[in-house]
Amino acid sequence: MRHYFNVSSTLRYITSILSAYAAGFVGSLFMRTGWDTWYETLVKPPFAPASSIFFPVWMVLYFLIGLSLGFLWSHTDLWHPWVGNFFVALAFNAAWIMFFFGLHVILIALIDLVCLVLITTVLILGAMEIESRAGYLLLPYLAWLLFAFYFNAGIWFLN
- Using the predicted structure, report yes or no on whether residue 34 has a pLDDT greater than 90: no
Report the pLDDT value the prediction gives residue 100, as an integer from 0 to 100: 94
Report the pLDDT value the prediction gives residue 43, as an integer from 0 to 100: 96
DSSP one-letter code for 101: I
| Full-model pTM | 0.89
- Using the predicted structure, report yes or no on whether residue 158 has a pLDDT greater than 90: yes
2-14 exposure pattern, b = at least 16 Cβ within 10 A, e = fewer: eeeeeeebeebbe
CATH topology of domain 7-30+52-158: Ferritin (1.20.1260)
- Using the predicted structure, report yes or no on whether residue 18 has a pLDDT greater than 60: yes
All residues at 6 or more sequence positions from 119 whose CB lies less than 8 Å from its CB, including other chains: 85, 88, 89, 92
Burial of 61 (0-12, 13-18, 19+ CB in 10 A): buried
Residue-wise pLDDT for 89-136, tens only, equals 999 999 999 999 999 999 999 999 999 999 999 999 999 999 999 999
Report the pLDDT value the prediction gives residue 107, as an integer from 0 to 100: 98
Encoded amino acid at 58, one letter: W
Where does the pLDDT of residue 5 fall: very low under 50, low under 70, confident under 90, or very high at 90 and above?
low
Q: What is the mean pLDDT of the chain?
A: 91
What's the CA gap between 139 and 64, in Å, rounded? 9
Rounded average pLDDT over 36-56 = 90
Burial of 22 (0-12, 13-18, 19+ CB in 10 A): middle
Report the pLDDT value the prediction gives residue 125, as an integer from 0 to 100: 95
| pLDDT: which is higher, 81 or 3 | 81
What's the CA gap between 34 and 114, in Å, rounded? 26
